[in-house]
A = this chain, B = another copy of it.
Amino acid sequence: MRGYSGDKDAYLKRLRRIEGQIRGLQRMVDDDEYCIDILTQVSAATKALQSLSLGLLDEHLKHCVAEAVAEGGDAADEKVREASEAIARLVRS
């Protein structure tokens, strides 16, 4: 069981849609479509990935981090440190 397990099918569906966006981008480049139109689609795929991250992170805080904190001990500190590092990677990507 993971934080996102309850919404696993929804996450898989979102990832398949993003995969479709990336394949659409390959067709656009292959068809020599206009740079700006390609950039617009890249921005849409990037936003979809970020929104997915925010969802996963929310579930992670709600389930995994909260459970570790409730159990107490060093595992809780470790989980918070790990979550903070993931947030930093997200903000900087």
Contact = CB atoms under 8 A, between A and B. Distances in A.
Size class of the contact patch on chain A: 35 or more
B22 A15 contact: yes
A26 B49 CA distance: 13
B4 A87 contact: no
Contacts of A58: 80-81, 84, 87
Contacts of A47: 93
Contacts of A33: 2
Interface in A1-42: 1-5, 8, 11-12, 15-16, 18-19, 22-23, 25-26, 29-30, 32-36, 38-40, 42
Nearest to A38: B56
